[in-house]
Amino acid sequence: RILGVTTTPLPGEPCPGLVIVLFDMTELRRLESLRQEFVANVSHELKTPLSSIKAYTETLIRGAKDDPEISQTFLMRIEEQAERLHELIMDLISLASIESGNQVFDIVDIELRPFVEICLVDQQKVAEAKNIELIVEEKEHGIKVKADEEGLHQILGNLINNAIKYTPDQGRITIRWEWDDPNMVLLEVEDTGIGIEEKHQARLFERFFRVDKARSRELGGTGLGLSIVKHLVQSFNGTIGVTSKVGEGTTFTVRLPRG
């Protein structure tokens, strides 16, 4: 695309030369459209719980507060929606901070076995409630990765939490790791859940992408979890991928530098 044309004389030339400046706007346009889409998504995601909170409070003020049972139900709904807003805002802050490149990570050697066990403590209750079995498989003892502790906790927390969310009752989740090559560790989170159609798999790590919006919302998702996970993994010089079969289950594979 021609952005500017100047007619200054070129050095050593008697008459004015013509300098045409060419820029490829395709990438800029793509980024601008991604930015617009992101702003529209954020606005929509913030508006939905806020509208609910507004509607419940208005109804309470107009008289529903006099009925103790209705007020209790409405107050609980308001709390749920406020919690949703809180999670969304925390995820947005997290994403913005990682994406800006300004977040300082403290990269240290982390031994996976004790670390994964700590992460599982947070998830145990939810898994038990759904009768989901959590299995840890360590191929070799003492395997370490190089990562930031808080970041790795977020990565594992998100992947295991998703595995539990998208696996029906009585399912099984396996967390396993092994040396991949001399420099990397391969870590997998495998579930026996609903699975993801192939056509959706490439978009999973996009901000706000959800296979089933209603289901994700119902389960308390923000649609930002995997995007945060991918950015974190990349910040630690790792990679992430997914394989999945509808109705059989999903495996997220993370490769991180070995510690």
Which positions lie near ligand ADP, rule CB under 6 A? 158, 162-163, 166, 191, 193-194, 196, 204, 209-212, 216, 221-227, 250
Q: How far is the CB of 229 from ligand ADP (least distance, A)?
A: 7
> What is the closest distance, in whole angstroms, from the C-beta atom of residue 28 to ligand ADP in the complex?
27
Measured from the CB atom, is 154 or 186 closer to ligand ADP?
A: 154
Q: Which residue is nearest to ligand ADP (CB)?
A: 221
User: 53 vs 167, which CB is nearer to ligand ADP?
Assistant: 167
Q: Which of residues 42 and 60 has its CB atom nearest to ligand ADP in the complex?
A: 42
CB of 244 to ligand ADP, least distance (A): 7
Query: Nearest distance from residue 128's CB to ligand ADP, in Å?
Result: 18
Nearer to ligand ADP, 49 or 223 (CB): 223
* Shortest CB 165 distance to ligand ADP, Å: 6
Q: Which residue, 105 or 209, is less far from ligand ADP as judged by CB?
A: 209
- Can you tell me which residue has the tokens 């409630």? 129
